[in-house]
Structure 1
Amino acid sequence: IIASKRSTFGFPEIKRGVAPFNGGTQRLIRNLGKIRTKTMIFFGDHYNAEEMFKWGIISFLVDDEKFENFVHQKASWIGNAPTKSLFVIKKAIDYGSQAPLNLGLQFEHLGYAINSQSKDVIEGVTAFLQKREPKFTGE
């Protein structure tokens, strides 16, 4: 998540008698733990972006005037990145974080086996050896 310094976050649903049962309780608890999750959801308060950054909810906290350029920079990287590698990494993190360590390591090993066969890996290593930027294709 990329946020400007003026962003705010919260779960105000409780102030209208509504519960955040569209994944709010289950996703947040995995990042913040039970105490912070209950506090945020029970009271419906808003939290500033700096606090969310300290809590690990936000990946990047950016000044307002630099926000648009920063988002474009990160989107450009993702748009030109080795997509198969990103996909395998995401799956290893997502599945591995929900499993015991030994299974998480097995996810990594499977991901390595899949990813190492991609053309993007060959392109990345070749580009490094040739001292140039890689041109990934997602293959």
Structure 2
Amino acid sequence: MGTPLLAIEVISLPVSDVDRALRFYVDQVGFTLDVDYSPNEAFRVVQLTPPGSKCSIQIGHGLTDADPGSLRNVYLVVTNIEEARNRLLERGVEVGAIRHKTPVGAWDGSFKAGLDPSRADYASFADFSDPDGNRWVIQERGHQSV
């Protein structure tokens, strides 16, 4: 018997206001609304998917007991971090400055401001948070092949 395939398909995101989070992720970040289901007042599930992703997020009532805003460092991978950051800024998302790993070849956890000079995969980053403080990291990969 072989190793079973494992795929991450959904991440539950703890939020305090489902409608505010829904507007943020759809209107500002650009996620697609897949499902908004609430059979009663105690339970609601809203599923949203980033464009091009096979993994979605769920927000709602009765999904998680995690504190709103406690999720950290979920990565959104893009082929052009400057373009992705500018689009988010245009849509009203507060995105941190782009930074890159240094030294890339023997990375020790240090960063420098700006894009990685060679646009190497996994080397350039920027951050943003949702209204509750759940933190996302934008990471560039595949820029050389575009």
- TM-score normalized with structure 2 length: 0.26
Larger radius of gyration: 1
| Structure (1 or 2) with the greater helix fraction | 1
TM-score of the aligned structures, taking structure 1 as reference length = 0.27
